[in-house]
Amino acid sequence: KSGFITIVGRPNVGKSTFLNRVIGQKIAIMSDKAQTTRNTIQGVLTLDDAQIVFIDTPGIHKPKHKLGDFMVKLAENTLNEVDAIMFMINAEEGFGRGDQYIINRLENIKKPVYLIINKIDRIHPDKLFELITIYKDKYPFKEIVPISALEGNNVDHLLDVLKDQL
């Protein structure tokens, strides 16, 4: 099994922390560069029975300047080329405009989108329940997976879920 997965989300939600944790020393390429028009391979995770390539998708963060139709199309096409999309949010924050922007971009995407609620080590379970309640009405997520990328909580479960998607 092998496949491509992209992680989208606002800055500081924990995307790089997640990649560092799952890829660790085996990291192939790590890029925190600003958006480019091409896909950037962020890392390749090799498991016993599967290989997952994490890629960076351009155009999903709200741009400072008006994004042309071409760029929107390009970003959407890219999202349609991956096997699955991880939309990562910070559990400490509520639903905001940046999240709505990303959800709008995901609207015409036919690929499975997983909502990853990160930093659960920082919140009370009631808050997690509240977030799930809010988000599940915003988009038909394939699954909602709470994790702590920093401490590793539920990360193995997430990898199993993603593996099943390939």
Rule CB under 6 A: say whether 154 interacts with ligand GDP: no
Indicate the burial class of 63 (C-beta count within 10 angstroms; 0-12, 13-18, 19 or more): middle
Is residue 50 within 8 A of residue 1, CB to CB? The reply is yes
Give the binding range for ligand GDP (CB under 6 A) out of 37-45, 72-80, 116-124, 133-141. Answer: 116-124
| Subset of 11-70 contacting ligand GDP (CB under 6 A) | 11-17
Rounded Cα–Cα distance for residues 132 and 123 (Å): 13
Contact residues toward Mg ion (CB under 5 A) are 15-16
Give the binding range for ligand GDP (CB under 6 A) out of 56-64, 123-131, 138-146, 147-155. Answer: 147-155
CB neighbours of residue 65 within 10 Å: 5
CB of 32 or CB of 130, closer to Mg ion = 32
Is residue 21 within 8 A of residue 118, CB to CB? The reply is no
Residue among 149, 155, 158, 162 that touches ligand GDP (CB under 6 A)? 149
Interface with ligand GDP by CB under 6 A: which residues? Answer: 9, 11-17, 118-119, 121-122, 148-150
